[in-house]
Structure 1
């Protein structure tokens, strides 16, 4: 008898999840799971958004003279077919979208989630607007700005005091318009120095636009984010010369001569291979991101940098 062979399970369709209670944001990497969820009925979608903390299930009544509680109630013609209605008076009600991420939009919440998903996956605003079926010049651009504002808030809340440890690569790079073959005005356009740190163990990236590259500017940022005793890899820039005296294990690689350098501990014989490939790769990713754009306003720069940091 021929030996039966089990067909390996492969492909996103076979791996999709259909039970809404089992789906989390991380499952959206499988597009079939995303569409399985948001193709469901209004109650299922509303319940999932509530469980994820994106919509409220209840709240105290909005009326100052009422001590009732507003709870989810069926209401035709309202977003997702539901509203929040007071248990003391049917006349006291507000949209289920109030105080939420979706409050001021007239789009169906499913289209908003589609727009956000494709944007966070790195698609252009043009492709994002096409997938969501919305205007590029108005809706998609506005939502892109809105998402970047949230990324800025995420950075300030979660990353502004983050401490890195282990091996940390640091470097600075100039962003802005470049002039080749002496064509164009070298003083035209926005130019910004950016200081970056990458924690090797987690691949976490923190970027800061800086006014200059002096030790007075860069060292406080290192002390804020890198634990003492950590190992720091950098190029031979003079601003970093005293890191060993400050409680760090500092190793340098001079890119003029090599992109990798080997150190040997005279006492233990341990070998330390030093390179800054992670942070250099981050610069490439960041500059590719800006290269796809036809320019940006100075007021939007911080939001774009927060977005680049979030993707690494």
Structure 2
């Protein structure tokens, strides 16, 4: 939980903050929010960043059949890509997302050991970084994308597509420094959608009086 201090110290009228929060919850783009609220573009971006920062970090452990994959964010031609690994629970569509330094086996195993319960059935592509998952208590199914076999990872592949299209629509050029908190937001949109139904729900979930 976060202190309410971040809300009290603002010079913006509370009515404006409420409207900005509503726009962010409803996934209005930055430009649309400027038009609705009359607040400047930099101020909207700053407040959207604040709203994301207040979301509690997830401690959710996934179970059952869990699809796992990595994806690149950022522009490859500028050498500024960031690697994100994701896991999605097939029955519930709950997700865990994390920036990782590389696609090495150690990085992927560290992610899985903290986000997926032992005994779960993990499906991945044929990347060698997923070798030896059985050693960590998982059963493991691979699909070879080079042979046109995508079925076992369809859900996580589709999730990446939806996420990237949404980020382009909402923010245009993505600031990679914001990516960890953006991923945290998307985890909770998927796992706790009720937090985003109303402004009151968000405030109840993220604020404590101090």
In the alignment, does 2:103 pair up with 1:201?
Answer: no
Task: Check 1:99–1:196 CA distance in 2 against 1; reply closer, same or farther (3 A cut).
Answer: closer
Q: Which residue of 1 aligns with 2:199?
A: none
Q: Which residue of 2 aligns with 1:121?
A: 26
Q: Which residue of 1 aligns with 2:36?
A: 131
Structure 1 Cα separation of the partners of residues 130 and 4 of structure 2: 46
Larger radius of gyration: 1
Aligned residues: 188
C-alpha root-mean-square deviation of aligned residues, in Å? 2.3
Asked if 1 retains the 8 angstrom alpha-carbon contact of 2:73 and 2:84, the reply is yes
Structure 2 Cα separation of the partners of residues 283 and 311 of structure 1: 14
Q: Which residue of 1 aligns with 2:139?
A: 249
SS at structure 2 position matched to 1:256: helix
Q: Which has the higher contact order (CA 8 A, sep 6+)?
A: 2
Q: Which residue of 1 aligns with 2:208?
A: none
TM-score, structure 1 normalization? 0.55
Asked if 1 retains the 8 angstrom alpha-carbon contact of 2:88 and 2:155, the reply is yes
Structure 1 Cα separation of the partners of residues 173 and 166 of structure 2: 11
TM-score, structure 2 normalization? 0.79
Distance apart, 1:294 and its partner CA: 4.2
What pairs up with 1:140-155 in 2 under 5 angstroms? 140-151=44-55, 154-155=56-57
Q: Which residue of 2 aligns with 1:36?
A: none
Higher relative helix content? 2
SS at structure 2 position matched to 1:301: helix
Deviations 1:250-298 (A, max 9, x none): 11111222345xxxxxxxxxxxxx5212211221122223434443444
In the alignment, does 2:45 pair up with 1:168?
Answer: no
Q: Which residue of 2 aligns with 1:15?
A: none
What pairs up with 1:156-235 in 2 under 5 angstroms? 159=58, 161-178=59-76, 186=77, 188-235=78-125
Task: Check 1:233–1:140 CA distance in 2 against 1; reply closer, same or farther (3 A cut).
Answer: same
Structure 1 Cα separation of the partners of residues 22 and 149 of structure 2: 37
Deviations 1:62-119 (A, max 9, x none): xxxxxxxxxxxxxxxxxxxxxxxxxxxxxxxxxxxx9455312343433322211121
Asked if 2 retains the 8 angstrom alpha-carbon contact of 1:112 and 1:132, the reply is no
One of 186, 191, 196 as aligned partner of 1:308? 186
One of 12, 15, 39 as aligned partner of 1:107? 12
Structure 1 Cα separation of the partners of residues 34 and 189 of structure 2: 20
Asked if 1 retains the 8 angstrom alpha-carbon contact of 2:82 and 2:176, the reply is no
Task: Check 1:144–1:228 CA distance in 2 against 1; reply closer, same or farther (3 A cut).
Answer: same
